[in-house]
Amino acid sequence: MIFAAIPDSSETTPISTSAKLVACIAVFILLGSLISAMGYYLIRSMTFICSQKKEFEEKPKPPILQFDLTPRITIEESIDFVVPALQSPRTLMAGAGMFESGSTEQLQKNLYEPTARAYRPPSIGFTVEYDREVSSTLTVRLNGAKDIPPSKLGVNPIVKISLSPDKIKHVSRLQRDTIRPVFGDVFQFDLPEDANIETRSLKFTLYDQDKLNKRPLGRAVFPLKKTMHQSERWISLNVQQCRERSYGEVTVQLEQNDALFVCSLLSVRGIPNDIFVHVKLGVYVNHKPYKKVRSSAFQALGGIMSLKERIELQKSDFGRNDLSTLQIIVSLHSRKKRLAKCHIGPRSSVDGMEHWAEMLLRNNAIKAHRFLSG
């Protein structure tokens, strides 16, 4: 048996030199063709751009419109202008006496001092109608009030009108949170048929009223005449008569824990020494009396008097330990007449609210409160 010789596939056939040369020439020809094509298109693009630029420059431009907006004034006659000699500001001020000794400091001070507004006392507007020949009824219409001093807590004006010496009184409706109230209330005073109207007078008292207290703002007296027709009148109130007289002060201690609330009176001082007085301590819930205590009568003689009155409250009686409905009133009395008082609580005066807030923060707070009349 004869077998043909088969070449081994693992052995590589060597490439001849002529084949390598042909491949290199083909690569160089291809690169040259690409370069020449790129150069051709680059030259074409540059030629087109140059031609467009030249065409744009040779194209005629539109004319530019120009306007002369400068105003022109033609003066036919000559005008003589006289410029007065100007004086320096210092010369002018010196002529007015501003640069005397210390005047510079005074000038600077006046620049920053605000101009004080003229004070006007509160006044009440009303109308009075009375004719004895027609009727014995005196009719008073309360119109409004103005120039009431503002307050941080708001002003709730109310007016009390009394007829003297008959002691007939009427009270207006309460106007809330306003310093220029408009009332519109009409009051009638029935007089005896033989009454002498000229011996009588109307007394107006303006109050600022909250839920527990009335603070007088001014009073005025209006004398009556035999015949008064219905015309509006404004009368200024006397504020000096309503100044709150101080009756000394009381030191109060407020304490609380998880179960109890305690209010104690520690001492009083500065009370007038010409009267015998006693002190009452009252706790109110929703403006209704809850518990009260009073001290024995004493004469302070202008010094300090110790007190031992106190009130203890169980917080569980108020539900959820809520003390926001409490109000404390400490009042000073002479026999059966109340002379002055002070309020402590979440809805009281500024000092009373500060004392209450300190107690809530620290659970124990001591503060002195002034007794004020009115």
Contacts of 358 (CB under 8 A, 6+ apart): 365, 367
Residues 255 and 238 in one domain: no
* 76 vs 337, more confident: 337
Which residue type sits at 270? G
Q: Are residues 159 and 228 in the same domain?
A: yes
Residues 366 and 346 in one domain: yes
Same domain? For 267 and 367 the reply is yes
- The pLDDT mean for the chain works out to 78
Range of the domain at 138: 123-242
Q: What is the largest CA-CA distance in the chain?
A: 177
Q: Which of 242, 274, 299 is the last residue in one of the domains?
A: 242
Statement: residue 351 has pLDDT above 90: no
| pLDDT confidence of residue 241 | 58
Evaluate whether residue 70 is within a structural domain. Answer: no
Per the domain annotation, does 259 fall within a domain? yes
Q: Where a domain ends, among 242, 277, 311? A: 242
Q: Out of 219, 242, 265, pick the residue that ends a domain.
A: 242
What are the tens digits of pLDDT across the range 41-50?
Answer: 888 888 888 8
Are residues 289 and 224 part of one domain? no
Is 257 in the same domain as 364?
yes
Name the residue with tokens 């081994």. 8
Note if the pTM is more than 0.75: no
Does 138 map to a domain? yes
What tokens appear for 177 in the block? 């949170």
Mean pLDDT of 286-302: 85
Torsion angle in degrees (nearest 10) through CA of 70, 71, 75, 76 = 90
* 144 and 186, same domain (yes or no): yes
Mean pLDDT of 119-148: 88
CB atoms within 10 A of CB 268: 25
Question: pLDDT tens, 16-53?
Answer: 788 888 888 888 898 888 888 888 888 888 888 887 77
C-alpha 297 chain-centroid distance: 45
Residue 250 lies in a domain: yes
* Residue 73 domain flag: no
**Contact call for residues 122 and 217 (beta carbons, < 8 A):** yes
Residue 124 has pLDDT above 90, yes or no: yes
Tell me whether residue 3 is in a domain: no
**Is the same domain home to 214 and 252?**
no
Q: 237-289, pLDDT tens digit by residue?
A: 988 656 556 688 899 999 999 889 999 999 998 887 767 889 999 999 888 88
CB 327 within 8 A of CB 284: yes
By the 8 A CB rule, do 292 and 282 touch?
yes
The answer to whether residue 282 is domain-embedded is yes
Number of domains in the chain: 2
CATH of the domain at 182: 2.60.40.150
The answer to whether residues 296 and 358 belong to one domain is yes
**Whether the predicted pLDDT of 350 surpasses 90:** no
Asked whether residue 232 falls in the same domain as residue 265, the answer is no
pLDDT score for 74: 55
Give the per-residue pLDDT at 248.
Answer: 86
Please indicate, yes or no, whether residues 211 and 253 belong to a single structural domain of this protein: no
Report the C-alpha gap between 346 and 358 in whole angstroms.
11
